[in-house]
Amino acid sequence: MVYRGLPSADHDTKSYARNLAQQAHWERDRRVSVMYRPLKYSYQRDSTGRLATGPDGKLIVAGKEEKGVDVLCALALVREAADPGVDLVILASSDSDLEPALDEALRLGSAKVETVSWHDPAQPGRRQQLRPTDRARRLWNTRLGENEFQRSRDLTNYA
């Protein structure tokens, strides 16, 4: 299961199309499902405080952010960990907002839970691994380095 933000077709037509093409490509493998949450956009305002528009009449984007994807991941983690047909759940994220869901999945005790994290030895102080809040709980973490990162990249041109 892949959870990610989806650019707006109105604001970023090419990225929107690439995301959908990548989803279709990845989901040819029945083991993969991609779920999107629309990106949240903020807009420029003019000197009067009104939303500013460009020469094309469209709102001018000031920024965008991914919202709610962590909640979808948290729900999926707990749901899959509680499923009696699931033996192992692997969470690939370093988002500390997922720690309560990780705690709950471990508390359920139905499925084994493991994590995966990118490991960059050049940044020793940077926390890269999710851990349960109860440090007495043992949790297997697989660290992936630069070589694994490079080999896992999707280099397909979805343009």
Q: For 100-123, what is each residue's pLDDT tens digit?
A: 999 999 999 899 999 998 887 787
Q: For tokens 């630069």, what's the residue? A: 146
DSSP H or E stretch at residue 143? strand 140-144
- Beta-carbon neighbour count of residue 80 at 10 Å? 19
* Angle, vertex CA 115, rays to CA 31 and CA 127, nearest 5: 135
Cβ neighbors of 123 (< 8 A, separation 6 or more) are: none
pLDDT of amino acid 121: 78
Q: What is the mean pLDDT of each run of 10 residues along the chain (159 residues)?
A: 96 96 97 96 95 94 94 96 96 91 93 90 74 86 91 94
